[in-house]
Amino acid sequence: MAVREIIEIGHPMLAARAQEVDVAAIATPQVQTWVDDLIDTMRAANGAGIAANQIAIPYRLFTVEVRAGNPRYPYKPQIPLTVLINPVVKFLSDATFENYEGCLSVPSLRGAVTRHLEISVAGFDRDGAHQSFEVRGYSAATFQHEYDHLDGTLFP
């Protein structure tokens, strides 16, 4: 487990689509170390989430967690630690809202981003179990933000 360097806007890995993780490899020490490093780095930076490509791992996984008292996002509802490997996000409606966002890879910049109000999220957890759930509001925006990273999209 380690806190890793967060790469910043302009790095080519942030503009590329991340690769699928081999589901059979989820239990391997390599993938488990990636998950641990994502959690450690996200928490050390007071992030609400972090995608693997933000720490130079070009694979489709991210973590999301909003703890009470997060100084970067005091207005966000709490989200328990969630690990998603090979996530899929689907919009449940056409309803959108403007979300004011920041990004660990785009320091000192925040901006309004149009996000879908209701989404479904599916993927594998760190144990390789498939999970699926629905998310709404600010929390939905958090998941969409991390998912965008995996497709090479930054909020600016």
Catalytic residues: 146
Return contacts of 65-71, CB within 8 angstroms, 24+ apart.
65/39, 66/139, 66/142, 70/46, 71/46
Cα torsion through 112, 147, 126, 30, rounded to 10 = -110
DSSP 134: E
In angstroms, the CA 92 to CA 80 distance is: 22
Cα torsion through 28, 140, 81, 87, rounded to 10 = -10
> Could you give the residue ranges of the DSSP H alpha helices within 16-153?
29-44, 137-150
In angstroms, the CA 60 to CA 78 distance is: 23
